[in-house]
Amino acid sequence: MNVDLLVHGGDVLTVDDAGTVVRDGAVAVHEGEILAVGPAEELKARFTAAESLDAAGCLVLPGLVNTHTHLAMTLLRGRADDVTLQGFLERVLRWEAELLTPKNVAAAVRLAVAESVRAGVTSALDMYWFHEAAEQAARESGWRLHTGPTFMDVPEPPDGIVYADRQAWARRDLQARGGARPGTRPILFAHSTYTLSPGQLTDIAALAREFGALLHIHAAENSTEVAAVEVRYGRRPVELLDSLGLLGPDLLLAHAVELTGSEIAALARTGTSVAHCPVSNLKLGCGIAPVPRLLSAGVTVGLGTDGAVSSNTLDLLGAVRQAALVHKADGDPSAVGAEEAVRMATIEGARALGLGEHLGSLEAGKRADLVVLDLNAPHLRPLHDPWSTLAYAAHSTDVRDTVVDGRVLMRDRALTTLDEAAVIADLEALV
């Protein structure tokens, strides 16, 4: 049988429920879909490939899923360091009003895509202004972007759409999408409980449910935010969302650092997911999300980088390492293990987006988003355990090849769909 792509040789870490590792394995891909995963010898006999990747001496794994970011913030990288969340927001909101245009967002997103592809990140949930420009830039590069209209009630928003008009604008956007292509879904973004009123949040959630969309919102990022929302509405952010009936399997919370035991129980009861952003949370002094307690309660937790202003990097492997390490600080070295951290960046991230049937593991029938990580470096040898290697030893620079929807976006560390020098030059011209 003829196929489009065969990735063969090396060890295939499928990240299926059993944690299967296929030694000297292969992945066969056709029309963007994984047809088979198995021993290389067997698949090479079954399939004739138009294109191949020889992964001998490498680790093949699912593409990483960034469950919370603001990609075009690459435009502001390094301009809001060593400040609190509130100080960060004050600066960034002012700069966004001055700098953001569709053209600038597209240029910043192209840089973010280049950085992400190099880091083995094959898709990201992106909350930001001018999402249409971001989508076009990602589509042109062949990269999987999860985005949609953002709601934030602020004076003079960068896109010029006053809040009273945003509901109709978002509805038109969702209607124009029609049926989502495999590996995507409709998405709406509600910035937070401190930039949107309870009535506005209820209206946004109703629109999301009408279209079967994922709703993504910042919540409980630090103690100052929680106190401010409690003073204004008499409830903490997660309590407020629960009282409004917004918690549920189609809601994904970003950060969720400041949670009570009853709030964790509410997330578990309703099937609400969390995007854990350990690097950003530490850098902004927000604290450490109670991820071990969330996992123990059965809450789905994915990993995010946040934007390149608050974390300075879109390196999700760095977030994997941080997630595997920071929760051990209380004295329990098993609080978040290597396998748990890797799963948060792959299958659990996909599940947090409601896309676990399409993304996050290397299994027949799923979209062909995968990464080949080169193991031929001193810091990666010997390879006793691939989960350990990924969580504690590997770096984004070890990624050799990145494939999205069966299309090779990076081969032998060279980007194939973006002119990297031009992408960098375009962004430099803006700043």
Question: Could you tell me which residues come within 8 angstroms of residue 229 by beta carbon, excluding any fewer than 6 positions away?
Answer: 193, 194, 235, 236, 237, 240
Eight-class DSSP state of 51: E
Q: What is the CA radius of gyration of the chain?
A: 21
pLDDT in tens, the chain (431 residues): 999 999 999 999 999 999 999 999 999 999 999 999 999 999 999 999 999 999 999 999 999 999 999 999 998 898 888 888 888 888 887 888 888 999 999 999 999 999 999 999 999 999 999 999 999 999 999 999 999 999 999 998 999 999 999 999 999 999 998 777 889 999 999 999 999 999 999 999 999 999 999 999 999 999 999 999 999 999 999 999 999 999 999 999 999 999 999 999 999 999 999 999 999 999 999 999 999 999 999 999 999 999 999 999 999 999 999 999 999 999 999 999 999 999 999 999 999 999 999 999 999 999 999 999 999 999 999 999 999 999 999 999 999 999 999 999 999 999 999 999 999 999 999 88
User: How far is residue 311's CA from residue 65's CA, in Å, rounded to a whole number?
Assistant: 16
Report in angstroms the alpha-carbon separations of 294 from 91, 103, 248, 269, 281.
Answer: 32, 40, 15, 11, 16
User: Environment class of residue 248 by beta-carbon count within 10 Å: exposed (0-12), middle (13-18) or buried (19+)?
Assistant: middle
Q: Are 167 and 207 in contact (CB under 8 A)?
A: yes
Question: Could you tell me which residues come within 8 angstroms of residue 403 by beta carbon, excluding any fewer than 6 positions away?
Answer: 5, 7, 29, 53, 63, 122, 368, 369, 370, 371, 372, 409
pTM score over 0.95:
yes
Residue ranges and CATH numbers for the domains of the chain are 2-62+361-415 (2.30.40.10), 64-352 (3.20.20.140)
User: How far is residue 426's CA from residue 431's CA, in Å, rounded to a whole number?
Assistant: 9
Q: Are 264 and 299 in contact (CB under 8 A)?
A: yes
Output the six-digit token pair for 356: 């676990």
Q: Can you tell me which residue has the tokens 């409601």?
A: 354
